[in-house]
Amino acid sequence: MGKLDEILKASHWKYDYVFIDEAHRFRNEITQGYEQLHQICHGKKVILVSATPLNNKIDDIFSQLKLFQIPKRSTIPGILDLEQFFQSLKSKINKYSKDDPRYMLAVKQASKEVREKILKYVMVRRTRSSIQKYFAEDMAQQGLFFPEIEDPQRLVYEFDQATDNIFNQTIQLIKRMTYSRYTPLLYLKTPLPEFEKQSQRNLGAFMKSVLVKRLESSFHAFRNTLARFVASYEKFIAMYRSGTVYISREINVFALLENDDELRLLELADQQRVEKYDAGLFRDEFIALLENDLQALKQMQDLWNQVETDPKLTEFMAQLKKNKLLKGKKVIVFTESKETGEYLLHHLDQKYPGKIFFYSSSGGLRHSGDSCSGANQAKDIIRANFDPSHESPANEVQILITTDVLAEGVNLHRSNIIINYDLPWNPTRVLQRAGRINRVGTAHSRIYIFNFFPTAQADKELGLEDNIKAKIQAFHDALGEDARYLTDEEVVTTHDILGAELYKRLNDKNLLQGEDEDERTELEQLQLLRKLRDEDPALFERIKKLPRKARTGRAWNGTQFDRLITFFRKGNLKRIYITNGDESSEINFFEAADILACEPQTSRLPIPRHYYELLDYNKDAFEQANSGEPTGRSRGGGRSNEKYLLQILKSNNILYYAGYTDEDEEFLRAVRRALEEGVIARNTAKRIKQQLDKEKDANPLKILAIMRKNIPASLLEEKPDTAAQKGSNKKEVILSEYLQGGHKHEI
């Protein structure tokens, strides 16, 4: 992540392939990192490696595809315009609200289409269950095994009546706040462009999420966050009353999210002062909203000054002492808050001196109050104590406390226990955390995951699960189901998961395994072919030499009507259709394999007269499906920023300006082509639009200069068509099978 700039600047580096590990970190296009990586990957062969490529939306897949596919000139067979394909799926999903049962059905159907029409051509996927099923002998020969994940266990901490009342009041106060200190531009008397309004709303919602997440993380972290919010509001109000306000129009929310140090997050928000405003430019309501927010924050401070206990910490310490699975074992504790981690270190170090280590983005700590050791030194201590492959193993650290900076890219499987001290709002994060210990090569046969959940001693008539779900729902409601704080198009993962659903997923063993019970894999057919090759090479050779247009017939009990199943190929496009003589429909590989499967002694039937009539139905369906695909470059499509830029470049005063050099004209033609094909990264298009919006009546040469400043020349080079694009467009019938139903046709 820290080397992308260096790679872009090093023009002497020559490379043909880009390997991207932990590729899911680049699933969001509106980041500087994605924009840089997109430029690095352009025109190269790209291999992405990830355990969790799909985080929350099908757009996650689209973003990663664009690192090696031209969106509107794809090489994926049958899908020329990827943007159009994904937009169509999103439209089908967005027809329903998230609480509509049809919503999940639409999501499942969209996921199926992505798998069958996109991913089967570009992804190799191996789940643990499929490897255990189809490569059991290979694993046994190598002495390998996968540990079994036990059902996640709940660690429940209870609020007494007074604390529960304070919690509920706090949630209401958090919801009541406007976060106006972080959205000042919304209160200017002059209207803002929509993108700036959204940027302000994003930051306000982000600051609300900081409060909610710290409240759930630990009372200690929440109190500290409240103090910083109060100080920030007081300074801002004093600045406003002085008559001058300094504000940043651009705060990189993504950069804030990458940092697990919440103190630093708020400092960044305060420090980015780049524009000066007279206080008289703001509407009268602004100062009143600032004062109301400050009053709410101080009211929360007063409430939490009454709380002298920490039931979550108390339960945690008790579990470490009495739980047989935890007592004396190597344990990894994850938290989203650096301050919560330091708080746990302080208390655990008193109980288990010398056996605790805390790691965050700042480095490592052995004892509370020590200065942090550097990241490299700290990681070596962690590896020595938790990575079985370390050359000098140590056994000094029993409990490792860490933020999510260790949720990826490290081996910690000398331990087999993870405790999620925070509620992991993103269930994908749970899988990533578990992946640190759920690894081949572990000595442990079982993996244990513990999740902390809040509840209340009151309301005894409620079941424990209902009470926990109600608490999670309270956090969820405080965040706001539709709040967006990353981009105008992205919803925070939390907001897509209601309390009950999040609780269910966090306690789902299959989630932690990363398995999809319903998904089939081509390994079942590969295993069959492998067995044939090894045990019956003559039959294997016969199959290999089957001629094109191979056809046969047999009786089929699947229906009373006759059917014909046909496998077509056109270049790299492969599709299978089945018809009954009235209509033809496409089926996937597994459906076809199930229909074609039969016993070796099955009698072969001769081909009937109406075989060719049935074949024509399937041919027509195949041709119609292909003709429905875009056959040329998509013109003028795409998202709003790209459309906006294309409209400007195609306007008469820009298109026919007489003051361009030949080089200028060639550059602008290349930019138009790149926008039409979706080659320009979304972040780049957004930044150009923002700069153009600030220019009033910009002349053609100014527009040209902005384009040149923001669009790398490497993205505008015409890349030669790949072999896949040049592949044969000849339609071939590979094989057909006539399936005779219950009634007979004349032969």
The per-residue pLDDT for 457 is 64
* Mean pLDDT for the chain overall: 83
Convert the pLDDT of each residue in 361-407 to its tens digit.
888 988 877 777 787 889 999 999 999 999 999 999 999 999 988 98
Continuous H helices in 281-435? 285-304, 311-322, 338-351, 375-386, 427-434
The answer to whether residue 635 scores a pLDDT higher than 50 is no
β strands within 457-562, DSSP E: 550-555
Q: Are 692 and 703 in contact (CB under 8 A)?
A: yes
Helices 219-241, 262-271: inter-axial angle, 10-degree rounding:
10
- CA nearest neighbour of 34 among 490, 560, 527, 427: 490
Between 290 and 723, name the one with better pLDDT: 290
Instruction: Show me where the domains of the chain are located.
Output: 4-127, 148-154+311-513, 161-304, 544-747
Q: Are 159 and 167 in contact (CB under 8 A)?
A: yes
The per-residue pLDDT for 166 is 95
Q: Which residue has the tokens 């970190």?
A: 25
The per-residue pLDDT for 728 is 54
The answer to whether residue 637 scores a pLDDT higher than 50 is no
The per-residue pLDDT for 237 is 94
The per-residue pLDDT for 388 is 93
Q: Which residue has the tokens 């229909």?
A: 595
For the ranges 16-25, 100-109, 187-196, 617-626, the maximum mean pLDDT occurs at 16-25
User: In the Cβ-directed half-sphere of 431, how many Cα atoms lie within 13 Å?
Assistant: 19
CA distance 179 to 168: 19
Q: How confident is the model at residue 509 (pLDDT cuts 50, 70, 90)?
A: confident
- Positive or negative, the CA dihedral 410, 415, 417, 421 is negative
Average pLDDT over residues 169-188: 93
The per-residue pLDDT for 651 is 87
Convert the pLDDT of each residue in 668-721 to its tens digit.
999 999 998 888 988 899 889 888 888 777 788 989 999 999 998 888 876 655
Q: How confident is the model at residue 413 (pLDDT cuts 50, 70, 90)?
A: very high
Q: How confident is the model at residue 14 (pLDDT cuts 50, 70, 90)?
A: confident
Average pLDDT over residues 124-138: 84
Q: Tokens representing 286?
A: 């602004």
Q: Has this prediction a pTM greater than 0.75?
A: yes
The answer to whether residue 514 scores a pLDDT higher than 70 is no
The per-residue pLDDT for 248 is 65
Convert the pLDDT of each residue in 529-566 to its tens digit.
888 999 999 999 998 899 989 999 999 886 678 899 99
Convert the pLDDT of each residue in 208-219 to its tens digit.
888 988 999 999
Q: Which CATH architecture has domain 148-154+311-513?
A: 3-Layer(aba) Sandwich (3.40)
Q: Give me the percent of the chain exceeding a pLDDT of 70.
A: 86
Task: For residue 280, count other CB atoms closer than 10 A to its CB.
Answer: 7
Q: Which residue has the tokens 């900076």?
A: 405
The per-residue pLDDT for 511 is 63
Between 360 and 720, name the one with better pLDDT: 360
CA 51 centroid distance within chain: 11
